[in-house]
Amino acid sequence: MARANTKIGDVFLVKIDGSSKKYFQYIVSDLTQLNSDVIRVFKKVYPINANPDLSEIVSREVEFYAHCVTKLGLKMGYWESIGNISDVGEIDHIYLEIPMTPVQSPESKLKYLTSGTCGKSMIMTLQE
């Protein structure tokens, strides 16, 4: 397999069948949840012989956002990279914030943040 490098802003083409294709874009690295790339998939389906420019593609309606291992899909030939554009749209709204409840351990100077919804916990040292 060839080595694949990806970076934020990369746009990829996915062939749906012999006559149509769609595009998606790598928009951010989510290091807080699944430690993976986050993509936005565009809703418009293009004819297989269409060659829209990158600015047209990224201006289209977003169908959904997802975590994705973009490098692996590229290596496996599931999609192909067609270019990079700095316009990745708004990303603030795609993160789901997990409510955290602070709990201090009486035996130590550690503060635990726990989430009942995901079972996640983080440990932070208390500041004097």
| In a shared domain, residues 15 and 68 | yes
Share of the chain above pLDDT 70, in %: 68
Domain range for residue 63? 10-94
Same domain? 32 vs 81: yes
Query: Do 88 and 105 reside in the same domain of the chain?
Result: no
Residue 54, judged by CB atoms within 10 A of its CB (0-12, 13-18, 19+), counts as middle
Residue 2: its pLDDT value, please? 54
CA distances from 80 to 1, 11, 41 (A): 14, 9, 14
- 115 and 72 in one domain? no
Residues 118, 63: one domain?
A: no
Contact 25, 31 (CB under 8 A): no
Total domain count, the chain: 2
Residue 58 lies in a domain: yes
Do 17 and 79 lie in one domain? The reply is: yes
111 neighbors 126 (Cβ within 8 angstroms): yes
What does pLDDT average to over the chain?
A: 78
Give the pLDDT of residue 107.
Answer: 54
Residue range 41-98, pLDDT digits in tens: 999 999 999 999 999 999 999 999 888 899 999 999 999 999 999 988 877 666 544 4
102 in the same domain as 50: no
Judgement on whether residues 45 and 87 belong to the same structural domain of the protein: yes
Instruction: Say whether pLDDT at 37 is over 50.
Output: yes
Residues 104 and 85 in one domain: no
Q: Is residue 2 part of a domain?
A: no
Residue with tokens 């726990």: 114
In a domain, 116, yes or no: yes
**pTM: predicted TM-score of the whole model, two decimal places:** 0.71
Same domain, 104 and 83: no
Residue 18 falls within a domain, yes or no? yes
